[in-house]
Amino acid sequence: MTREAPAPTAAHTADAALALGDDALVLSHRLGELMGHAPVLEEEVALANIALDLLGQARILLSMAGDEDELAYLREERAFRNVQLVEQPNGDFAHTIARQLYFSTYQHLLYDRLAAGRSPFAGLAAKAVKEVAYHRDHAEQWTLRLGDGTETGHERMGRACTALWRFTGELFRPLDGLDLDPADLEPAWLESVGDILGRAGLAVPDGPRTGAWTAGAGREGLHTEPFGWMLAEMQHLHRSHPGATW
Amino acid sequence: MTDTDWPLWEVFVRSRRGLSHTHAGSLHAPDAAFALRNARDLYTRRGEGVSLWVVPSSAITASSPDEKDPFFEPAADKPYRHPTFYEIPEGVKHL
């Protein structure tokens, strides 16, 4: 169902910037955790590039909502507005890729639509949509190879896609401040992800994509347990040495 | 971390239109599509290029260091092969 998007106000714009900025920041940090731990050197650079693209987006978005450093380093867990999908741990490489496939497909559809609109996000989206197109392609290439490769790869990729499926419904919850309803992106997302999983020889997971316990959770500040650990690591330096500079 | 049996690829980058592709380095990748993507990430992330080639290293036949003398030494003392004995008329540009 298409919802009539409310006329965006400055406060709504800041809220939406915070939500999208937190998505980018948190996923960027998760990918950053793989530095020094990626399976091969070339893949490490690829993941670092994606993380840096996302960090760049996060800086612009968080600056639209306030002071970027304060927002990133001094908020408590409950004040973060990212979807739960992006805070999920890297797990094995298949989990990292499944998370990226789900999120980048969503983000690409979102930025593509925002770029065509007239909201304060149009400029950022127009630039970022090209970065995200590459992130999506990277995840797709790996999904195809892991899913349609060895028996182990197939099994692990299938397991990862299923494990993260329940976090994908939240992506399409309404978000005030955007000139679109994320729910409108859902059919295209399902088609795109379904097509890639099909070509990878993987079944589209059939479990629920949300549950009563997850409904809008991340956007409302309710996060999964691993997020607290991530945040502690991300924030401890700044909190231990406030105002420190190089 | 480098424990991989992925094949090696040679990367050629064209820095801008009109120039030829130049060898930039090499990398490991499972197949050609990924070699191209890895090359993009490793060699063009600071705006170095507008076009990329990747070639399996195994497809390159190289001259051997042992053959250096028969291959290259004879060219060293033949200055007449260089086009340096011509008078260049004044006013000729772009030569």
Tell me the chain B residues in contact with residue A41 when contact means C-beta distances shorter than 8 Å: 1-2, 28
What pLDDT is stored for residue A190 in this prediction?
Answer: 97
Domain ranges of chain A: 10-240
For an interface test with B, give the residue of A40, A93, A97 to mutate (most B CBs within 10 A): A40
Report the Cα A14 to chain-centroid distance in Å.
18
Burial A223-235 (b: 16+ CB within 10 A, else e): beeebeebbeebb
Question: Of A38, A41, A141, which is closest to B34 when you measure between CB atoms?
Answer: A141
- Nearest by CB to residue A40, choosing from B4, B33, B41, is B4
Residue in A49, A137, A141 nearest the CB of B45 = A49
The per-residue pLDDT for A1 is 47
Range of the domain at B71: 8-81
Q: What is the pLDDT along chain B (95 residues), one digit of tens a residue?
A: 445 589 999 999 999 888 999 999 999 999 999 999 999 999 998 888 899 999 999 999 999 888 888 888 888 888 888 877 778 888 887 76
User: For position B67, what pLDDT does the model report?
Assistant: 87
Q: Tell me whether residue B94 is in a domain.
A: no
Contact A45 B42 (CB under 8 A): yes
Q: Is residue B13 part of a domain?
A: yes
Q: Is A148 on the interface with B (CB under 8 A)?
A: no
CA–CA distance, A1 with A174 (Å, rounded to integer): 11
Residue numbers of A between 17 and 56 with CB closer than 8 Å to B: 38-46, 49
In 3-state terms chain B splits into helix, strand, coil percentages (rounded to 5) of 30, 20, 50
State residue B77's pLDDT score.
85
How far, in Å, CA of A32 to CA of B81, rounded? 56
Number of folded domains in chain B?
Answer: 1
pLDDT of residue B13: 96
Identify the closest residue of chain B to A134 by CA–CA distance. Answer: B37
Segments of chain A with pLDDT less than 50: 1
For testing contact with chain A, the best of B37, B42, B44, B48 (most A CBs within 10 A): B37
Q: What's the confidence (pLDDT) of residue B94?
A: 75
Residue type at position B4: T
* Domain presence at residue B91: no
Pure H helices in chain A:
10-32, 41-65, 68-73, 84-87, 93-116, 122-147, 151-165, 186-199, 225-240
The fold of the A10-240 domain, in CATH, is Ferritin (1.20.1260)
Predicted confidence (pLDDT) per residue in A120-133, tens digit: 999 999 999 999 99
User: What CATH number is given to the structural domain containing B61?
Assistant: 3.10.20.520
